[in-house]
Amino acid sequence: MKTSRWENFLGIAARAGKVISGEELVVKSIQKQNAKIVLLSKDASENTKKKVTDKCLFYKVDYFWIEDRNVLGKAIGKEQRVVVAVNDQGFSKRLKELLDH
């Protein structure tokens, strides 16, 4: 299966140290207003989905749905991940452009 452009770009952001993953770390990053964009797996638990989307809406952070946890984990070179955040304005701006297409 071909890797999409946003996956490749997220991998670059991860290698640059601009990506965090895991529910608790991402929620803290949103609250501190460090997170610029959040990617959430469609197969995350309902509780995780609600917690993360509520925080994103409250703190006005854009979030995008990703097909499943395997895709998200693979994109950042890790095991399965249900939620990741990008803490860099430049990377997040480009990632939004790639995800919007």
Q: How many domains, the chain?
A: 1
pLDDT-based confidence at 101, cuts 50/70/90? confident
- The pTM of the full predicted model, rounded to 2 decimals, is 0.95
The pair of three-digit structure tokens given for residue 92, joined into one six-digit string? 């997040």
For range 56-61, the mean pLDDT: 98
Query: Any idea what the CATH number is for the domain that residue 87 is in?
Result: 3.30.1330.30
Range of the domain at 9: 5-100
For range 51-70, the mean pLDDT: 97
Phi then psi for residue 50, to 5 deg, are -65, -45
